[in-house]
Structure 1
Amino acid sequence: MSMRIGQGYDSHSFKAGVPLRIGGLAIDHPEGLAGHSDGDVLLHAVTDALLGAVAAGDIGTFFPPSDPRWKDAESSIFLNLALEEIQHAGYQIMNVDVTLVLSQPKISPIAGEMRERLAILLDILPNVVSIKAKTPEGLGLDHVAQAHAVVLLERVEDPSALKSMTAVIESQRQLEDVVKDLVNEVHRGDQKRRTVVPVFDTEDIT
């Protein structure tokens, strides 16, 4: 299967006295989101979407709320694990589409910055990241933040494309060494040919 789709959802209620983080951004707001970790509803939804796309379970499978190690943990930790899972399965992210549902704060003024931040966390380009915001009109959810996320993955046919940056750099150095050896060998051959059968008089070169 060359393409896979994953869908993720999360919700948290607002709570006074805790910082608000959505999409990896710290947002100035009187209330934050209640949760065992930092309550980042957007990153939780994207994490579940990625894990679901490769049938690797969900965020609770790896980071149960009963485990004290994840108390107040940054949700980027969860996202990194999901990225490792899709890499291990041989896939890469093609695009991400997220819809936030909340009354406050207003997301549109910071949507661009949020897209940039999520793109950095996922190591993809911002132009394949979409973040939209809706209000829960008439649903009685004014004190709740929800996030819906959809991701599209594509299988990487060349496993070497999934190498770590360290491996890529090392391979590049090896390639440069091979090229240098070949160039030197060619130059040495040219020099021998010039000695045996001179093509031109080097004294004429200015």
Structure 2
Amino acid sequence: MRIGYGFDSHAFKPGVPLILGGLPVPHTEGLAGHSDGDVLLHAITDALLGAVSAGDIGTFFPPTDDRWKGADSALFVRTALEEIATAGYRIVNLDSVLILHRPKIVPIAGEIRASVADILGIPSRNVGIKAKTPEGLNQDGVAVAHVTVLLEEIGEPEPLKTMTAEIEDPAELEVVVRSLVDEPHDMRRLGRKPPFDTDDLT
């Protein structure tokens, strides 16, 4: 098991849309940022990358690179998902706290939760979305996100272990192994995503 922690903050800015967890949120201001300013997805990206010691969001998507100007932050999360899958892990659950004075998150928490779960490819019941107001912190013009993620190692499937343990005839074992190697299998059950090529965005 591995634990990852992510944090991000962005100041509110007029004239830009507000995006939280990949969901457009009606509000008078959005969040300033080189990409779409999605503070929650940025913190999720850092939590995932940190859990497998793969660096941080700035390592993969530096704010000095114009390719990421106004980019959909879901792309960042998908890259982090590739990193954890390559490292041999998948998500168990994710918990988050959004800290902002407005808009109120409670009425839309379920929608944000569903959006995040869809991006991560996990059930909504494994995603926690909470919100707090920054009382006494003098942060009325800022949105902050804290995220914790738990990963588990992807082990050898139990049926394969049992199969190889019980088959004593070498010829029969060879047939079984060949079928596992030659036949296509759905890798989504292992938490893997299709490869993401950043050059496609240029």
Cα offset for 1:159?
7.4
**Distance (Å, rounded) in 1 between the aligned partners of 2:186 and 2:6:** 35
Structure 1 residues not aligned, in runs of 5+: 161-165, 171-206
**Distance (Å, rounded) in 1 between the aligned partners of 2:43 and 2:109:** 17
Q: CA RMSD in A?
A: 1.6
Q: What is aligned with 2:108?
A: 110
1:108-145 Cα shifts (integer Å, max 9, x gaps): 00000111110000000000100000000011100000
The alignment-based identity, stated in percent, is 63
Runs of 4+ aligned residues of structure 1 deviating over 3 Å after TM superposition are none
**Distance (Å, rounded) in 1 between the aligned partners of 2:33 and 2:149:** 24
Cα offset for 1:103?
0.3
Length-normalised TM-score, structure 2: 0.78
Partner amino acid, structure 2, of 1:56: A
Q: What is aligned with 2:87?
A: 89
SS at match of 1:168: coil
**Distance (Å, rounded) in 2 between the aligned partners of 1:127 and 1:80:** 20
Alignment partner of 1:147 out of 145, 148, 154: 145
Give 1 or 2 for the bigger CA radius of gyration: 1
Alignment partner of 1:71 out of 56, 64, 69: 69
Q: What is aligned with 1:44?
A: 42
SS at match of 2:6: strand
Q: In 2, are the aligned partners of 1:97 and 1:150 still within 8 Å (CA)?
A: yes
Partner amino acid, structure 1, of 2:71: A
The count of residues paired between Structure 1 and Structure 2 equals 163
Alignment partner of 2:185 out of 168, 193, 196: 168
